Amino acid sequence: MLELFVIFSKGGIVLWWFQGASQLLTVPVNALVKDVVLQEKTGNSLFKHDKLGLKYRLDNEFELLYVVAYQAELALSYVDKLLTDVQREFRDKYKTDLQAKNIYRSFNFADDFHRVLKAVEAESLAEASKPREMRTWDKSAKSQKTVGSMVIDPNKKPIEKLTQTKSAKGKENQAPVLNGKPEEVVSSGGSGNESHSPDEDSIEMSRKRFIEKKGKQKTVAKGAVKSDDAPKKRVKESRKWDLGGGKKDMAELDVFKTSANSDEVNVAVSEMKLKGQMTGALKDLDTDGEEEEEEENSSDTSVSDASSSGGIFGIFKSLSMSKTLTKESVAPALEKMKDHLIAKNVASDIAAKLCDSVATKLEGKVLGTFSGVASTVKSTLQESCVQILSPKRRIDILRDAMDAKSKGQPYCITFCGVNGVGKSTNLSKVAFWLIENGLTVLIAACDTFRAGAVEQLRTHTRKLNRIQNDKKMVQLFDKGYDKDAAFVAMSALAHARDTKTDVVLVDTAGRMQDNEPLMRSLAKLIKVNQPDLVLFVGEALVGNEAVDQLVKFNQALADHSQQENPHLIDGIVLTKFDTIDDKVGAAISMTYITGQPIVFVGTGQTYTDLKTLNARAVVSALMKA
C-alpha cells in the first residue's frame, strides 16, 4: 500500500498529494530531499527512512518533484512505473498551467492518480501471476559466455576491486587538501539508509567525479580572476533553488512550507513594532486620515467634487437629467459601473447585484441635477454595501471573552487559511489587542507542519510579553512538530483552564483549500475543540481567489466534520488591506458569499495595524476612480 504520493515544486509548494498513511510524513520527505535530491543522487534507487521506502522523479522542465513513499518491506515492483506514469499524466493535464508557472491553483488530480495507480497495480499483478517458463540452457546467460570471456585477463581488475579502486580514486579526487582541510566528501549512503546496485554506484561515482571536475574548473577559473582572494574552505554546498516566499535553500526545505524560512520570519517578526495602544474596541478602518474627513463632510458638495475629479460619478454624466430615468436609460451607465466595481475586485455577480440595486433606486426618478444622481448612486451603493457588510451575528470578542472568563472558561479563537496570508502575524496583533485590554493570552502553536512556525510564534510571544498583576500576559503553548494539531489545541485549552488564562489563540497550519487530508485535519481540530470563534484569514489583495478559498474552506469543514450542525467559519480576517490601494472588492465579495462578517482588517506590519471594517470606508474606496 502506498503511504504517500506528493508533487511539489522545487520551491516547496505542494501542488497535489495523496496520503494513505495516518501519520504525517514530512520528516521522511524532507530527509529524502536533503540526503538524496540535493546530493543529486539518482532517484531510481530506494531511499530508506525508518520503515519507509521513498523514490522520486525530478521533472526539470517544470521544476517539479514527484515523491512516492511506501512500506519498504512491501518491495512494490510498480513504483518506478507509477512515478513515470503519474508524471506524464500530470504534465499532460496541467501543461498550460505549468508552463505559465501557475502552480498556486488547485489541482484536482485525485481521480487521475487513482486511475494510473490502479492500472500499474493491475499490470504488476498480471506480470507476477504469469507462469514462469523454465529457461533453457540456450537462453541462459552462462550459455552466452565465450571461452575467451572466461579467461582471466591479468590487466583487467575484478569488478569488486575495480569498484574499490574507483572509490579510492574517487575519494582521492574528492578530497583535495584546501586550506589544510580535506573537502567534505559526499557519502553515497548518507546515513547508510540507501541501497544502491553496483551499476548505480559506478554511475554515481562517475557523476560525482564529473561534478567534482566541473567544480574544480570553476574554482580554478575563480581563482584566476580573484587571485588575491584567500583560499576558502570548500564544502559541498546545497544547490540553491529559487524559492517562492523568500526561502532560499532547498537543504532546509520543508515541503509543506511555503512562506519564508524561520530565520527570515523571525527577522520580520522582530522588526514588528510595538508602538501605540489598543485599549478598547478597535478603530474602524476609516477613522484616521482623509477618509474620516470625507465622511464627515459627506454631502452633495463632496459628491460633486468626486464627479469633477472623474470618480465613479463621471459615469453618470451622460444621463439626461431633466427626464424620468428609466431602466434602459441608466443601463449603459450601470454597465460601466459594473466594470468599475469588477476592477475593484468585486466578484462579477455581486457587482451586477449592486448595480441592480442602484438601477432600482434611480428608475422612475427625475433628478434635475447631476449631483442628485451622484448622491443617489452613492447612498444606494452605501446602503447595499452596509447591508452586505453588516454582520448577521454580533461578534464582540472582548465582551464574549470577559463573559467566558467570568465562567472560568478560556475563550478560544482558531485562525485558519492558506499559507502566507498572515495568520500568525494577525493572530499576534489580536494577542496584543487582547493583552492591552487586560486579558491573558495563550497562543497554541498548532501549525505542526511548517518549519519555523513555532519559532515565529515564540518570537511574537517574547516581544508581546509583559507582566501584569504578577502574571505573564501572553504565553506560548507548543508541542513541537509532527504532532496532531487537534491534540495540541486540546492540550492548550486544558492548560489554559488549569492556569486560568483568559483567551486561547490557535494558530493552524496553512493549507490549500483543495488539500483534502489537511482540510480533514482542520475539521477534526474544530470538531474536537469547539472553539468559540473560527476565523478565516484571507488576503485582501487576491480578490476572487480569497473568495474561492473561503467558500472551499467552509465546504470542507461541512464535509469533513461528520456532524449535523458543523462548526463553520464564523468570521473573516482580511489581511494586507494596506497593500490594495482602493481595490476593496474582496471585502464585499467574501461577506456577501458567506454572510459572515469581517471581524478584523490587517492594515500593516506593526502590532497596532489591526482595525475593524467600516462599510462607508469600503464604499468610499469603491467610488474612487
Q: Which residues bind ligand GDP (CB under 6 A)?
A: 259, 265, 268, 419-426, 510, 575-576, 578-579, 602-605, 609
CB nearer ligand GDP, residue 98 or residue 610? 610
CA distance 542 to 540: 6
CB nearer ligand GDP, residue 201 or residue 578? 578
CB nearer ligand GDP, residue 45 or residue 259? 259
**Cβ 484 to ligand GDP, closest distance in Å?**
19
**Cβ 167 to ligand GDP, closest distance in Å?**
45
Q: Which of 201, 202, 215, 203 is nearest to 173 (CA)?
A: 215
**Cβ 495 to ligand GDP, closest distance in Å?**
22
Assess contact for 420 and 259: CB atoms under 8 A. Answer: yes
CA distance 454 to 42: 34
Q: Compute φ and ψ for 266, nearest 5 degrees.
A: -65, -35
**Cβ 511 to ligand GDP, closest distance in Å?**
10
**Cβ 575 to ligand GDP, closest distance in Å?**
4
**Cβ 443 to ligand GDP, closest distance in Å?**
12
Q: Compute φ and ψ for 268, nearest 5 degrees.
A: -60, -45
CB nearer ligand GDP, residue 268 or residue 551? 268
In 309-410, alpha helices (H): 327-343, 348-362, 370-389, 397-406
Q: Could you tell me which residues are beta bridge partners of residue 46?
A: 195
Extract the C-alpha cell encoding 622.
469603491
DSSP letters, 188-234, are TTTTTTEE--HHHHHHHHHHHHHHHHHHHHHHHHHHHH-TTSPPPPP
Contacts of 418 (CB under 8 A, 6+ apart): 510, 511, 512, 513, 549
SS3 per-residue string spanning 79-131: HHHHHHHHHHHHHHHHHHHHHCCCCCCCCCCHHHHHHHHHHHHHHHHHHHHCC
**Cβ 417 to ligand GDP, closest distance in Å?**
6
CB nearer ligand GDP, residue 10 or residue 247? 247
Assess contact for 56 and 87: CB atoms under 8 A. Answer: no
CB nearer ligand GDP, residue 121 or residue 455? 455
CB nearer ligand GDP, residue 549 or residue 594? 549
Assess contact for 492 and 454: CB atoms under 8 A. Answer: no
Assess contact for 559 and 362: CB atoms under 8 A. Answer: no
CA distance 444 to 460: 12
Distances (CA, A) of 13 to 323, 412, 472, 491, 565: 59, 30, 37, 30, 33
CB nearer ligand GDP, residue 420 or residue 585? 420
Tell me, what DSSP letter sits at residue 572?
A: E
Report the relative pairing of strands 2-9 and 14-19 from DSSP bridges. antiparallel
**Cβ 424 to ligand GDP, closest distance in Å?**
4
CB nearer ligand GDP, residue 193 or residue 448? 448
**Cβ 507 to ligand GDP, closest distance in Å?**
7
**Cβ 164 to ligand GDP, closest distance in Å?**
50
CB nearer ligand GDP, residue 28 or residue 604? 604
CA distance 71 to 20: 11
